[in-house]
Amino acid sequence: MGLIRLEGVHFRYPRTLVLDDLSLDVRDGAVTVLVGPSGSGKSTVLRLIAGFEPPARGRVVIGEETVSRDGRVMTPPEERGVSLVFQDLALWPHLTARETLELVLSREVPREERRRRTEEALAAVGLERHAEARPASLSGGERQRVALARAIVTRPRILLMDEPLANLDPPLRRALIEEIRQLQRRLTLTILYVTHNHEETFGLGDHAAVLRAGRVEQVGPPRELYERPRSAFVASFLGRCALVPVRARDGGHESALGALPLPRPDPAGSSELLAVVRPEDVVVGDDGPLSGKVERAICLGSAFEVELAGPGWRLWALAPAEPVPGSVLRFSIRRVVTVPASNP
Ligand code: ADP
CA distance 270 to 338: 10
232, part of any domain: no
- Alpha-carbon separation of residue 156 from 116, 131, 150, 274, 342 (angstroms): 16, 21, 11, 44, 43
- Report the nearest-CA residue for atom 25 of ligand 1: 13
Residues 25 and 101 in one domain: yes
Residues 43 and 125 in one domain: yes
Residues 179 and 117 in one domain: yes
What integer pLDDT is reported at residue 265 of this predicted model? 54
3-state secondary structure string across 241-283: CEEEEEEEECCEEEECCCCCCCCCCCCCCCCEEEEEECHHHEE
Of the three residues 227, 260, 294, the one that is the final residue of a domain is 227
Residues 213 and 289 in one domain: no
Does the structure show a pLDDT above 90 at 260? Answer: no
Nearest ligand 1 atom to the CA of 41 is 6
Domain at 31, CATH number: 3.40.50.300
pLDDT in tens, 299-315: 998 899 999 999 999 99
Q: Which domain holds residue 63?
A: 4-227
- The whole-model pTM stands at 0.90
- Report the nearest-CA residue for atom 18 of ligand 1: 13
Residues 115 and 195 in one domain: yes
233, part of any domain: no
Residues 210 and 280 in one domain: no
What does the DSSP 8-state code read for residue 301? S
Residues 63 and 209 in one domain: yes
26, part of any domain: yes
* High-pLDDT (> 90) share of the chain, %: 66
235, part of any domain: no
Does the structure show a pLDDT above 60 at 269? Answer: no
CA–centroid distance, 13 to ligand 1, in Å, is 8
Number of domains, the chain: 2
Average pLDDT (46-54) is 96
What integer pLDDT is reported at residue 238 of this predicted model? 95
Of the three residues 206, 227, 248, the one that is the final residue of a domain is 227
CA–centroid distance, 70 to ligand 1, in Å, is 20
Residues 256 and 164 in one domain: no
Cβ atoms 161, 191 nearer than 8 A? yes
Residues 255 and 283 in one domain: yes
Of the three residues 227, 249, 268, the one that is the final residue of a domain is 227
List, chain by chain if needed, residues with CB within 6 Å of any ligand 1 atom. Answer: 13, 16, 18, 36, 38-44
pLDDT in tens, 200-245: 999 999 999 999 999 999 999 999 999 999 999 999 999 999 999 9
Does the structure show a pLDDT above 70 at 82? Answer: yes
Residues 104 and 192 in one domain: yes
Residues 112 and 216 in one domain: yes
* High-pLDDT (> 70) share of the chain, %: 97
